Amino acid sequence: MKFLKRNTNIDFMGKRNFALVFSLVLIAAALVSLPVRSLNFGLDFTGGTLIEVSFPTAPDISDVRGRLADGGMDAMVQTFGAANDIVVRIPPAEEEESSAEISTRVLEALGQSTEGEIDVRRVEFVGPQVGEELTEQGILAVIYALIGIFIYVMMRFQWRFSVGAVAALVHDVLITMGALSLLQIEFDLTVVAALLAVIGYSLNDTIVLFDRIRENFPRLGSKLTPTEVVNTSVNQTLSRTLMTSLTTLLVLIALFYFGGEIIHGFAATLIIGVLIGTYSSIYVASTSLLALGVSKYDLMVVEKEGADAVAKARMNQP
C-alpha cells in the first residue's frame, strides 16, 4: 500500500549532519538526566510493599501523606485511575515485616479521620534481594539482545550493517531511557519488556531499509554515489516506514489513554521508542553505513572460480 506518491525524492542524507547534531543533543540530555534524576525504579527493582486502596470519596493526597508520616511510614503516595483510588509505595524497612502487617498499619493510619470504609484492592511485596536480581537480569537481557542482533545482521548482511544496526539500537535505548528518567515514568518489568519490544521494532524497520540498500547498490552503484544510493533506498521504503509507524502509534496512544494507569509506563515507553526508532533507522543506521564507507564492492556476489566456464559448457551441450 502506497502512503506517499510513488517517486518521492527527499534529500534525507543531505540533512544527516543536522541529524547527527540532533542525536548528540538527545544523547547528551539522556546521559545528564540518567545520573542526575535517575530512573524512577518500581518495586520490581527496589523492593518494598505496594498497596492499592480505594476511599469512599477523593482524598487530599497531602493529608494522606501526613497520616502515613505520623504513623512512622516513609511512603510515596499517588492517585491510581479514579480520584478516590490511591497507591501507597513503602520502601523496605530495616525491621522485617510481613505484607499483612504493613497493610494493617497503612489502613490504621488512613482510617483516622476518614468517613466510610477504605477498601484494599491489592497488596504486593518484593524483597530487596529479588529487586537486585531483577535489575541485573534486565540489564543482561538488553545486552544479550544487542549481541545476538549484531551476530545475526553480520551473518545476514555484512559487518558494516551490523555496526549500523547496533548503533541505531543503542541510540534508541539510551534516548528512550533518558526520556523515562526525565519524565520520571515508573521503571518496572513491563518497561523492560517495552524496551526489548522497541529493540525488535527498530531492528525490523532497519532490516527492511538495509535489504533495499543491498538490492540497490549492485544495480545503481555504478551510476550513483553511495550517498545517493542510500538516499534512494530511504525514499523507496519511506511509505512503508510511515504507514507502519503511524498505525503502531495509533494503537499505542489508545492503549495509553484507555488501558489504565497500570499500563501507562509500558505504552509510554513504546510510543517514545517507536518515534525514536523510526528516526534512527533513517538517520543513524543509514548514516553509519556511509561513515563506514560502504560501497557496491562490499555487496557484490562473489562468483566461484570457473563458474563462467561451467555455465558456458552447459549452454553448449546438445
Kindly report the CATH number assigned to the domain that includes residue 195.
1.20.1640.10
Q: Are residues 55 and 178 in the same domain?
A: no
Beta-sheet pairing, 186-187 with 40-41: parallel
- Per cent of the chain over pLDDT 90 is 13
Instruction: Yes or no: say if 67 and 111 are a contact pair by the CB < 8 Å rule.
Output: no
Q: Are residues 218 and 295 in the same domain?
A: yes
DSSP per-residue codes, 159-170:
HHHHHHHHHHHH
Provide the pLDDT for residue 131.
Answer: 62
Query: Cα separation of 24 and 178, whole Å?
Result: 13
**Residue 315 resides in a domain:** no
- For the ranges 121-135, 190-204, 253-267, the maximum mean pLDDT occurs at 190-204
Q: Are residues 214 and 233 in the same domain?
A: yes
Q: Are residues 208 and 186 in the same domain?
A: yes
**Residue 5 resides in a domain:** no
Q: Are residues 53 and 88 in the same domain?
A: yes
Q: Are residues 190 and 145 in the same domain?
A: yes
* CATH for 82: 3.30.70.3400
Beta-sheet pairing, 119-126 with 186-187: unpaired
Tell me 15's DSSP state. Answer: G
Asked which of 67, 95, 126 is the last residue of a domain, the reply is: 126
Mean pLDDT value across the chain: 78
**Residue 59 resides in a domain:** yes
Provide the pLDDT for residue 21.
Answer: 92
Q: What is the pTM of this model?
A: 0.76
Asked which of 78, 103, 126 is the last residue of a domain, the reply is: 126
Asked which of 84, 109, 126 is the last residue of a domain, the reply is: 126
**Residue 65 resides in a domain:** yes
Lowest mean pLDDT among 103-117, 156-170, 270-284: 103-117
Overall domain count for the chain: 2
Q: Are residues 163 and 114 in the same domain?
A: no
Provide the pLDDT for residue 310.
Answer: 42
Indicate if the pLDDT at residue 307 is higher than 50. no
Indicate if the pLDDT at residue 275 is higher than 90. yes
Q: Are residues 221 and 87 in the same domain?
A: no
Q: Are residues 117 and 229 in the same domain?
A: no
**Residue 288 resides in a domain:** yes
Give, in order, the Cα–Cα distances in Å from 296 to each of 215, 220, 227, 308: 10, 9, 12, 21
Instruction: Yes or no: say if 142 and 196 are a contact pair by the CB < 8 Å rule.
Output: yes
Indicate if the pLDDT at residue 3 is higher than 70. no
**Residue 141 resides in a domain:** yes
What confidence tens digit (pLDDT) does each residue in 198-253 have?
888 888 888 888 888 888 877 776 777 888 888 888 888 888 888 888 999 999 99
Instruction: Please measure the distance between the N-terminal and C-terminal CA atoms of the chain and give it in whole angstroms.
Output: 47
Q: Are residues 64 and 176 in the same domain?
A: no
**Residue 105 resides in a domain:** yes
Cβ atoms within 10 Å, residue 278: 21
What confidence tens digit (pLDDT) does each residue in 46-89 have?
777 777 877 777 777 777 777 777 777 777 777 766 667 777 77
Range 3-12 average pLDDT: 69
Cβ atoms within 10 Å, residue 152: 14
The boundaries of the domain holding residue 137 are 13-40+131-299
Q: Are residues 150 and 203 in the same domain?
A: yes
Q: Are residues 138 and 33 in the same domain?
A: yes
Provide the pLDDT for residue 296.
Answer: 65
Give, in order, the Cα–Cα distances in Å from 307 to each of 148, 220, 299, 304: 34, 24, 19, 5
**Residue 2 resides in a domain:** no
86: enclosing H helix or E strand = strand 82-90
